[in-house]
Amino acid sequence: MVEKSVLIEEINTLHPKYYSEIIDFVIFLKKKKTRNLLSLEKAAEMAVDEYRSNKELTAFCTIDSENFVDL
């Protein structure tokens, strides 16, 4: 993986006409990261709901006396 300082140096060697493309790409990546985080958050919420409603998934919690989630 290329270090940040090397990338910054490379960007600085580019003609300014390319800056808007770089900015657009960075914005795209930030939006993609946000979408991924929201997807993970939604999946986690769905998993908790499933653990709360499906006692088969939490049956072994009674054996070790630890709740996976607060049920």
pLDDT tens digits, 2-26: 899 999 999 999 999 999 999 999 9
Q: Are 50 and 71 in contact (CB under 8 A)?
A: no
Stated pTM of the model: 0.56
Instruction: Write the single-letter amino acid at 28.
Output: F
- Look at residue 21 in the predicted model and tell me its pLDDT: 96
pLDDT tens digits, 26-41: 999 999 999 999 999 9
Report residue 67's pLDDT band, with 50, 70 and 90 as the boundaries. Answer: low
DSSP category for residue 44: H
Q: How far is 27 from 11, CA to CA, in rounded Å?
A: 16
- Look at residue 52 in the predicted model and tell me its pLDDT: 81
Q: How far is 46 from 13, CA to CA, in rounded Å?
A: 47
